[in-house]
Structure 1
Amino acid sequence: MANWLLRLMTELSSRKWISRLTGRFAQSPASRRFIPRFARMYGIRTEEAEKRLDEYATLNEFFTRRLKPGMRTVDSDPAALISPVDALITGAGPIRTGTILNVKGQDYTIDELLNRSPRTESYKDGYYIVLYLSPTDYHRIHTPVDGVIVEREHVPGKVYPVNEFGLRQMRRVLSRNERLITYIRHGSGEAAVVKVGAMNVSSIKYAEPKRDQVSKGEELAYFEFGSTVVLLTEDGTFVPRNDLQPGLKVRMGEKLGMLVTE
C-alpha cells in the first residue's frame, strides 16, 4: 500500500511544470541564502569549488559549480575510457542482444533508451555503465574519450526520480525520462553518453561553446540538480576494469576500463 501511494505521488510530481517552478526558484536571487544550508545538508566539499560560497548568486549557480583546477585527475592512457562524472555506479555489464539486464530489478532495451535510433544496432552486444549523481556530487559532465561528436539528440520525456526508489519502483525510468544523447566517434568505435533528467531538474544543458572535436575530460554538459548518465560502448570495443560493478563510487577522470585497440 505504501509503495503504491509513493508511486502515485511520484507520478503526480513528475510533471515538467513542477520542475520548472523548482528551477525558477533555484535560479532566483532569493535562493542564494539557502546555499550554505544546502552545502551542509549534503556534505558537499565546498573547498573544491571554484569560488567561495558567498560568490555564488543563486542556488543553481552553486549547484552547477565548476571545480578548482587540479581537483580531478584525468587518466592519461590514450586507451582508457574515463568516468564522465563523479557518481555511484548503479548498474554495469554486457548488453545482451539489445537488452540491459537488471538495473535495480528492471530490464531496458537499447532501442527504447536510444529512442529507436538507427545507431542502436551497433550497441546491441556492447557494454553499459549507469552512473548516478546524488545532490552531493559535482554536476558537470565531461567527455569520456577523445573523439568527434557525430550526433546530438534531445528526447523529451518525464522527470521521474532516478534514485533508489525511482529505479526500483517506477516503470523503466531511464527510458521514460527526458534525455540528451551524445554519440562520440573514437579510435575504437563509438560511445553514447546518455544524460537522463530527473525530478526537480529544470534542464540538462550542453557546455558552451559546443565543439565537435572533443578531448577526454573536456566539459560536455551539466545537470541542474541530481540525475544519471548511462554510458554505452559499441559491440566488442570495451573491456571493463575488474572491480567495475554496482556500488562502486567513481570520480570524473577515473579509468572505467580500456578501449579495444587494433
Structure 2
Amino acid sequence: MIKYYNRKKEKYEIENIAGEKILRWTYESPVGKTFLELFIKRKVVSKLYGMYCNSKLSRKKINGFISEFNIDMSRFKNKENEYKSFNEFFYRGIEEEKLIFSKDKDIFISPADSKLLALNISSKKNTINIKGFDYSIEDLLGDGKLAKEYEGGLSLIFRLCPTDYHRFHFIDDGVCLKTKKIKGKYYSVNPIALEKVDKVFIENKREYSVFKSDNFKEIVYIEVGATCVGSIIQTYNENSKICKGEEKGYFKFGGSTVILLVKKDVITIDEDIKNQSEKGIETSVNIGERIGTIKKMHH
C-alpha cells in the first residue's frame, strides 16, 4: 500500500497501482529479484514492451485502463477511440484551455501531474535522502561543478504514475539549454522498488537540462526513465524563448520521474507539501498547480 496526501481533500489516500502484484513479485520475491537482475532492468525488455505498446494490437488495453483507474478523459484532446496505440493514448495531450496555471511571476507551479516529494539538499554532503538512501547530486548529474551550485538548495521529485498525464511543462518563462543524456538501467521508480533497490535514480537512464528561469534562477530539469519507458522525448526548442506552462517533453509508456533542482533560498515550498515531505509522504499535485512561492529576501 502506498499512502499519499490529497491536498484538495486534506486527507491521506491509497494509490491504485498499475501492475502492483507483478511489481511486488519482482522486487520482493527471491525468484522475482533474479528475473529483475537478469532481464527486467535491461533495455531489451523495455524495448519489446515498447514495441507492443506502439502497435495497433495494444489499442484494446485502452478502455480497460481508463475504467480501472477512473481517468477523466474530458481534459484531453482526443476521445478514447481515437488513439492508434496504447502508447499514443499514454502520452495523450491536454486541451490548451484546460491547462490552467497562475501567470503570477512569484508563484512556483508543478511541471506535471504527479506525486511530489520536496527534499532539502544537504549543504554538507550535497545529497538528498530518499527512502533511507543518500543520493549524491554529483552522481545524479555526473557533473561536480554544476552539482555544487545546488548545495543547500531544494530537490523536487515528481513521480508520474502510469495513470497520470505524461507530458511535463516549464514552470516559468526563460530559456532552456541543450539536453544531456546519461545511459543507465530501467528499474521501476515506484516506492515498492525504491525501498528494495539501492540508488534507483542514479542507476537509471536519465536526461537533464539547465533551465534559465526568469524568476527562479537556474533550475536543473532531470527526467528519469523507468521500467518499460521506451524513451524520454524532448519537444522544446533549445536556447530559445520559452513561456511558462509550455510543454518541455513527454515520456512513453511506464512510470517515470521528473526532478527539479532549485538553488538555495530561491523558493518557499507550500506548508502542507513541506510537512508531508518531512514525514516521507508524497503529495498529489496537478500540472500548473501552485506548490510554492518566490522567497522574499529581508534586508
1:249 aligns with 2:284: yes
2:242 is aligned, of 209, 214, 219, to 214
- Shift in CA distance, 208/239, structure 1 to aligned 2, threshold 3 Å: closer
- TM-score by length of structure 1 reads 0.92
Higher mean Cα deviation, 163-172 or 3-12? 3-12
1:126-160 Cα shifts (integer Å, max 9, x gaps): 10111111111100010122211134211111010
The SS at the match of 2:179 is strand
Q: Tell me whether 1:133 sits opposite 2:133 in the alignment.
A: no
161-170 or 146-155, larger mean C-alpha shift: 146-155
AA in 2 matched with 1:11:
E
Q: Is the 8 A contact 1:79 1:261 kept in 2?
A: no
Q: Distance in 2 between matches of 1:203 and 1:173?
A: 17
- Pair 1:34-2:69 in alignment: no
Q: Is the 8 A contact 2:177 2:239 kept in 1?
A: no
- Contact persistence 2:204–2:225 (CA under 8 A): yes
- 1:248 is matched by which residue type in structure 2? T
Return the TM-score normalized by structure 2: 0.82
Residue-pair matches, total: 260
Pairing of 1:1-262 with structure 2 (within 5 A) = 2-12=28-38, 13-89=40-116, 91-97=117-123, 98-101=126-129, 103-187=130-214, 188-207=216-235, 212-225=240-253, 226-244=255-273, 245=277, 246-260=281-295
Letter in 2 for 1:70: E
- Taking the aligned partners of 1:211 and 1:70, their CA distance within structure 2 comes to 26
* Deviation of 1:116 (Å): 2.3
Closer, same or farther in 2 for the Cα pair 1:209/1:32, shift >3 Å?
A: farther
Q: Which runs of 5+ in 1 are unaligned?
A: none
- For each residue in 1:23-62, what CA deviation from the matched residue of structure 2 results, as whole angstroms up to 9, or x when unmatched? 1111111112221122223222222221111111111110
Q: Kindly provide the CA deviation profile for residues 74-94 of structure 1, in whole angstroms up to 9, marking residues without a partner as x.
A: 1221122211100012x3221
Q: Is the 8 A contact 2:178 2:238 kept in 1?
A: no
Q: Secondary structure at the match of 2:272?
A: coil
Give me the whole-angstrom Cα distance separating, in 1, the residues matched to 2:85 and 2:236. 20
Identify unmatched segments of 5+ residues in structure 2.
1-26
User: Does the 8 A contact of 2:28 with 2:196 survive in 1?
Assistant: no
Equivalent pair of 1:7/1:169 in contact (CA under 8 Å): no
Residues 203 and 237 (structure 1), Cα distance of their counterparts in 2 relative to 1, 3 Å cut? same
Which deviates the most, 242-251 or 190-199?
242-251
- Cα distance in 2, alignment partners of residues 147 and 217 from structure 1: 11
Runs of 4+, deviation exceeding 6 Å: none
Indicate how the Cα distance of structure 1 residues 231 and 209 shifts in structure 2: closer, same or farther if over 3 A, else same.
closer
Deviation at 1:69, TM superposition (A): 2.8
The aligned amino acid for 1:7 is K
Q: Does the CA-based 8 Å contact 1:42-1:135 persist in structure 2?
A: no
The answer to whether the 8 A contact 1:195-1:229 is kept is: yes
